[in-house]
């Protein structure tokens, strides 16, 4: 869990961490982080893991507007990569299982390209 916080703190696209809420016991953890990115977007990280499963959601927004969200909530069974998927505006698309490093790299590419909304 602390690895995730460290990765976010060291990212060159994260302006500041606004909040961290966590619980951990042995191999079990729950983590919520809210951060502001250098372009004004907000990054919300939610992870919950046990030895048998890992649930995650990485949500990026500007104000109340969704930019993109990756998650593995067990819905959208029609998606070939179920339960892993991503939301872009109103669309639900296939996605592989992701971790914070990949999310930050993708966000960095989006910011460098000047993407306003995907």
* 117 falls within a domain: no
* 88 falls within a domain: yes
* 83 falls within a domain: yes
* 19 falls within a domain: yes
> 37: exposed, middle or buried (C-beta count within 10 Å: 0-12, 13-18, 19+)?
buried
Residue 116 has pLDDT above 80, yes or no: no
Dump pLDDT digits (tens) for 46-64: 999 999 999 999 999 999 9
Dump pLDDT digits (tens) for 8-33: 999 999 999 999 999 999 889 999 99
Within a 10 A sphere around the Cβ of 60, how many other Cβ atoms? 21
* 98 falls within a domain: yes
Q: How far is CA 96 from CA 8, 19, 20, 57, 108, in A?
A: 21, 27, 26, 13, 19
Q: Do 21 and 32 meet the contact criterion of CB atoms below 8 Å apart?
A: yes
Residue 117 has pLDDT above 70, yes or no: no
Query: How many domains are there within the chain?
Result: 1
Q: How much is the pTM?
A: 0.91
Range of the structural domain that residue 108 is part of: 2-112
* 84 falls within a domain: yes
- Rounded to the nearest integer, the mean pLDDT of the chain is 93
* 118 falls within a domain: no
* 29 falls within a domain: yes
């Amino acid at each position: 869990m602390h690895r995730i916080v460290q990765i976010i703190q060291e990212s060159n696209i994260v302006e500041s961490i606004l909040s961290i809420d966590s619980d951990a016991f042995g191999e079990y953890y729950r983590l919520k982080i809210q951060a502001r990115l250098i372009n004004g977007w907000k990054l919300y990280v939610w992870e919950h893991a046990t030895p048998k499963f890992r649930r995650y959601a990485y949500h990026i927004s500007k104000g109340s507007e969704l930019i993109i969200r990756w998650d593995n909530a067990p819905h959208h069974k029609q998606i070939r990569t179920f339960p892993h998927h991503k939301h872009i505006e109103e669309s639900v698309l296939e996605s592989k299982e992701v971790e914070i490093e990949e999310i930050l790299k993708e966000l960095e590419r989006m910011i460098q390209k000047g993407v306003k909304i995907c």
